[in-house]
């Protein structure tokens, strides 16, 4: 089968020379329209070197599988054999072709119907189910990451100062204050970019569970307890109540008045709620910048004009650009191309150059918005595993426990069943403390000092480790390799002692320290490999948060 990569007129291209080579390796013939990759810095010669053929644009549109960055605006009625006489561009799509693109199916039902009428199998890259197995196809998350990074770049270009504080012979300048609303993929990318430039970053999200993610990026969490929602079941924020919205607006008013840069990312199911009012803009300092990443959904700021740069009466710059990923075409095209190649690979298990889409696959079904003349959007809900709490209420026969058993005091939080482990732990700690005190009392004076140091080290180590953020556990393990090295050296020095007890303890200490050292280096190596090109992908096969 032939995969066509037309020139859809924008700077992005859904296939790079690297991903083209992957498609060719799967057995496909790849036809790239002349100049399709020029906007992203990929010349035709690079595609030819990867095994593709460079063809006129109409030939690329007439391929068996057509991949474009965004679906066309409209389609004319098909003629005989699926082609209109002299058809060019998207009207050259043949009957039965497969279209891979961002379709915006939820807001363009007429286009989905036109694709179905043409008999096109339409796979929407912006309809990827949010499950772990589909992460390698998740174009929306990838583009959100680019948009968040680019938002800070645009803000830096507009801002009349430096992000990082400077110390010069003529005096010092303070760092810029950046406030980010929303800590999703785009918000976290903006936090990371602003922090790397040296700004002081503060961020707010109504979802309480993302506070740790904000702190792990080096930003300060803005607290507004009255606006916080319950921990979300799907990772997305829901619409705020009237009281929550009022509390959030009060927090936004305080933060925006002190901020030099404001980045807004709040979207609720594709709709942008108002987070910055015109009054808040009026209270901001002249020269401040607002980058509204929710502009495609109408904008979070009341003064945002989607697609345009606006300056308020008091000199605040409001950027409502809707093409931020397009402004970084090379890397955005690489991400798009990788997603397309992953999708084609999913549909080519035999690597024989023939696309065999499995309609029962939840990933394929979720992305298929039209097939065989039918509109298939929306898809059926994706079945997920039952929560652990619900599963724990199932009896051995698979049926639910009785209400009396499920709601008994022993099974409820805070009941006798919940208190029992705490009581047992307290008794064991107390018993250990007593035994330790007796051991110190019965030891020689010189040994008592060593026991005291050991006890203090255990207590201090426990409290230090228990208060370290989970996001820092892996780097912390790398640091403890040095401590394990000291233990290993001390153990090796004691091996061969005349006292068999000392020798035995030295051998055990050396063995345990060696395991800890080599295990720590292995984990550290895998962690660092995730940040290198070609290294293991973070989250591959895992349920990592997005």
- Residue in 489, 488, 538, 539 with CA at minimum distance from that of residue 511: 488
C-alpha distances in Å from residue 252, one per residue of 28, 114, 216, 277, 278: 52, 43, 22, 9, 12
Q: How far apart are alpha carbons 124 and 429 in whole angstroms?
A: 58
DSSP symbols for 468-516: S-GGGHHHHHHHHHHHHHHHHHHHHHHTT-SSHHHHHHHHHHHHHHHHH
At CA 321, angle to CA 108 and CA 337, rounded to 5? 65
Would you tell me how many other CB atoms lie within 10 Å of the CB of residue 298?
A: 16
Q: How far apart are alpha carbons 201 and 220 in whole angstroms?
A: 6
Q: How far apart are alpha carbons 456 and 403 in whole angstroms?
A: 48
Cβ within 8 Å of residue 2, ≥6 positions away: 28, 29, 30, 31, 63, 64, 65
* Sequence-ordered alpha helix ranges (H) in 268-325: 278-282
Q: How far apart are alpha carbons 124 and 266 in whole angstroms?
A: 23
How far is C-alpha 475 from the chain's CA centre? Answer: 20
Backbone angles phi, psi at 352, to 5 degrees: -110, 10
How far is C-alpha 390 from the chain's CA centre? Answer: 28
Which stretch of DSSP H or E encloses residue 446? helix 445-466
Q: How far apart are alpha carbons 58 and 85 in whole angstroms?
A: 12
In this structure, the strands spanning 98-102 and 261-264 are: unpaired
270, 298 contact by CB (below 8 A):
no
Residues in a beta bridge with 102: 70
- Residue in 199, 185, 184 with CA at minimum distance from that of residue 153: 199
For residue 150, give both structure tokens: 């680019």
Active site residues: 130, 135, 138, 141, 236
Q: How far apart are alpha carbons 341 and 125 in whole angstroms?
A: 12
């Amino acid at each position: 089968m032939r995969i066509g990569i037309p020139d859809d007129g924008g700077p992005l291209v859904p296939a790079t020379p690297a991903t083209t080579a992957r498609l060719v390796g799967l057995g496909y013939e790849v036809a790239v329209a002349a100049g399709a990759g020029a906007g992203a810095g990929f010349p035709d010669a690079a595609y030819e070197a990867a095994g593709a053929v460079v063809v006129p644009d109409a030939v690329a549109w007439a391929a068996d599988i057509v991949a474009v960055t965004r679906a066309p605006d409209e389609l004319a009625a098909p003629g005989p054999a699926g082609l209109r006489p002299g058809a060019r561009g998207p009207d050259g799509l043949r009957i039965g072709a497969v279209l891979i693109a961002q379709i915006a199916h939820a807001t363009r039902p007429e286009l989905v119907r036109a694709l179905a009428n043409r008999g096109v199998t339409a796979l929407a890259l912006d309809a990827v189910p949010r499950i772990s197995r589909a992460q390698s196809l998740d174009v929306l998350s990838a583009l959100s990451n680019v948009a968040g990074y680019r938002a800070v770049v645009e803000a830096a270009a507009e801002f009349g100062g430096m992000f990082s504080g400077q110390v010069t012979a003529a005096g010092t300048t303070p760092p810029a204050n950046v406030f980010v609303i929303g800590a999703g993929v785009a918000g976290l990318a903006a936090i990371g970019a602003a922090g790397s430039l040296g700004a002081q970053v503060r961020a707010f999200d109504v979802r309480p569970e993302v506070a740790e993610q904000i702190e792990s990026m080096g930003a300060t969490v803005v607290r507004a307890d009255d606006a916080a929602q319950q921990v979300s079941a799907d990772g997305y924020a829901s619409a705020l109540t009237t009281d929550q919205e009022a509390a959030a607006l009060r927090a936004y008013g305080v933060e925006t008045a002190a901020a030099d840069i404001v980045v807004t990312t709040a979207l609720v199911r594709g709709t942008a709620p108002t987070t910055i009012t015109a009054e808040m803009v009026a209270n901001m300092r002249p020269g401040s910048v607002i980058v509204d990443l929710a502009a495609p959904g109408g904008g979070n700021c009341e003064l945002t004009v989607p697609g345009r740069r606006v300056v308020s009466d008091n000199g605040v710059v409001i950027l409502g650009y809707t093409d931020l990923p397009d402004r970084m075409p090379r890397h955005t095209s690489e991400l798009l191309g990788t997603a397309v190649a992953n999708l084609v690979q999913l549909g080519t298990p035999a690597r024989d150059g023939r696309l065999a889409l499995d309609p029962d696959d939840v990933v394929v079904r979720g992305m298929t918005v039209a097939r065989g003349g039918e509109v298939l959007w929306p898809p059926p809900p994706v079945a997920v595993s039952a929560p652990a709490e619900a599963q724990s209420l199932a009896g051995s026969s698979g049926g639910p426990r009785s209400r009396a058993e499920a709601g008994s005091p022993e099974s409820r939080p805070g009941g006798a069943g919940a208190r029992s482990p705490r009581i047992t732990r307290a008794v064991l700690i107390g018993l250990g403390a007593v035994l330790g005190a007796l051991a110190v009392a019965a030891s020689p004076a010189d040994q008592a000092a060593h026991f005291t140091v050991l006890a203090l080290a255990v207590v201090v180590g426990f409290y230090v480790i228990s208060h370290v953020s989970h996001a820092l556990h892996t780097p912390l393990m790398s640091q403890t390799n040095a401590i394990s090295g000291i233990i290993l050296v001390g153990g090796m020095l004691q091996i061969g002692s005349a006292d068999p007890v000392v020798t035995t303890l030295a051998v055990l200490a050396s063995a345990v320290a060696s395991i800890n050292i080599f295990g720590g280096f292995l984990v550290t190596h895998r962690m660092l490999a995730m940040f290198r090109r070609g290294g293991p992908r973070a989250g591959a096969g895992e349920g990592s948060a997005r």
